[in-house]
């Protein structure tokens, strides 16, 4: 039988170009439930009168991603204190280039490997056959 549960125990270490000379993060992959939770956190429905709109909260999404995926790192603040990615304030304080590079690496770890050329074709035929009319 195929193994389809996500392996969230395997990690990968990345050295950050934006945090020389030796800044690094150790990350793991999300499982499908965590992916859905991150998407849910990033989109919030807001009603303004009779209009419903969707607003995105990118900081909530990034905080969730960083706090769950980054298992180790050597990144510090200006006082030499190691950053805590479970703390939204520490995520917010990152230099933009560092935050963007970490975001890109996390997204790369979670990329879908579905090859659309291998997906089954959608049938044009109805799933249920029409029943004959009874007079």
Asked if residue 95 has pLDDT above 90, the reply is yes
* Residue 87, in any domain of the structure: yes
* Residue 45, in any domain of the structure: no
* Residue 3, in any domain of the structure: no
Asked if residue 43 has pLDDT above 90, the reply is no
* Residue 91, in any domain of the structure: yes
Look up the domain containing 90 and give its range. Answer: 11-31+58-110
58-81 pLDDT, tens digit per residue, is 888 899 999 999 999 999 999 999
* Residue 78, in any domain of the structure: yes
* Residue 71, in any domain of the structure: yes
Q: What is the pTM of this model?
A: 0.73
User: Distances in Å between the alpha carbon of 42 and those of 5, 38, 133, 134?
Assistant: 24, 6, 50, 53
CA atoms of 37 and 31, how far apart (whole Å): 10
Provide the domain count of the chain: 1
């Amino acid at each position: 039988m195929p193994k389809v549960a996500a392996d969230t125990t395997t990690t990968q270490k990345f050295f950050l170009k934006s945090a020389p000379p030796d800044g690094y993060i150790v990350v793991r992959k999300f499982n499908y439930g965590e992916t859905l939770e991150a998407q849910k956190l990033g989109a919030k429905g807001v009603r303004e009168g009779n209009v419903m709109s969707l607003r995105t909260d990118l900081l909530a999404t990034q905080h969730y991603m960083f706090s769950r995926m980054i298992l180790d790192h050597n990144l510090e603040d200006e006082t030499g204190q190691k950053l805590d990615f479970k703390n939204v304030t520490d995520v917010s304080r990152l230099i933009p280039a560092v935050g963007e590079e970490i975001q890109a690496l996390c997204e790369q770890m979670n990329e879908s490997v579905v090859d659309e050329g291998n997906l089954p074709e959608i049938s044009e035929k109805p799933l249920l056959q029409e029943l004959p009319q009874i007079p």
